[in-house]
Amino acid sequence: MKLTLVRHTAVDVPKGICYGKTDVPLASTFLDEMETIRQRIGSSTFDCVISSPLARCTQLAERIAPGHRVAIDHRLCELDFGDWEMTNWDSIFVSQEGKAWFADYVNTRCLNGESFADQIARTRSFLMAIRMSGYKNVLLLTHAGSIRAMICLLQDKTPQEAFSMPLTYGQILTFSLDNK
């Protein structure tokens, strides 16, 4: 099975703000970014289109895959940063909880949120389900955290390796997933 992953387009959130699972608005550049993504995908046909439930992904899915029913899967959501949602990263970094999380984001949960290990577990569950679907070509609209979790699971990378790879807004990645 071929998985085509698309990270959502730019958001209208001030730089330095943690927004994870918060449903934030898209930037004014959305239509231009969406058109670039649509052109890069070209004439690809998909058996299935699946999106994170957050509007920054669903709006993109509906525009770049017209005629497809867009399935929503909560396992494709961005990391839940809990009490840190919509907080400045600098203030998170200097807090005791923030220091503990930055020291071990893989295993330490955000204050009332998730760890990266939690996100990997969600992503593993999604991949196990999609693997059994019988689809041949799937389009996924998701977030940087989910894409990094898939990099860990599908390319056998460590979280540190996955986080060292830049992921830009609107970036497209393709993975091969066996149906075993």
Domain ranges of the chain: 79-136+153-167
Tell me which DSSP letter residue 1 carries. Answer: -
Low-confidence ranges of the chain (pLDDT < 50): 180
- 8-57 pLDDT, tens digit per residue, is 999 999 999 999 999 999 999 999 999 999 999 988 899 999 999 999 99
Question: 157: which 2 tokens?
Answer: 């990378």
Q: Could you give the strand order of the β-sheet that contains 137-142, starting from the edge strand earlier in sequence?
A: 70-72, 48-51, 137-142, 2-7, 172-176
Query: The whole model's pTM is what?
Result: 0.95
